[in-house]
């Protein structure tokens, strides 16, 4: 397995309004993964999280989430649990 690279969150230069577009943009930049940031608590709707996951799978981007609060069942269902390889976090 080789190293994978990508950002945690969206860069100031991110050209889109929605994180759903992040996986496609990162693939265009030649990056491999994306970490959805939840530094101020988990504030993502399930539909949005699932759309980010589907976009990541379509673009071949591995991903995870990094909440600063305890993960509740919704995030475990959507993004995977600790110990699962990050390439599986966005599998639906």
The number of beta carbons lying within 10 Å of the beta carbon of residue 70 is 7
How many whole angstroms separate alpha carbon 12 and alpha carbon 67?
20
Backbone angles phi, psi at 38, to 5 degrees: -130, 45
- Which of the four pLDDT bands, split at 50, 70 and 90, describes residue 1? low
Over the stretch 54-74, which tens digit does the pLDDT of each residue have?
Answer: 888 899 888 777 655 444 444
Q: What angle do CA 44, 41, 20 make, to 5 degrees?
A: 30
pLDDT value for 67: 59
């Amino acid at each position: 397995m080789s190293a994978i690279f990508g950002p945690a969150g969206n860069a100031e230069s991110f050209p889109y309004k929605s994180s759903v577009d992040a996986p496609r943009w990162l693939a265009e930049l030649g990056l491999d993964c994306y970490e959805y940031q939840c530094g101020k608590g988990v504030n993502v709707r399930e539909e949005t999280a699932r759309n980010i996951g589907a976009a990541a799978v379509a673009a071949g981007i591995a991903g995870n989430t990094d909440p600063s609060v305890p993960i509740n069942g919704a995030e475990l269902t959507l993004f995977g649990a600790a110990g699962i390889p990050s390439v599986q976090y966005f599998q639906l």
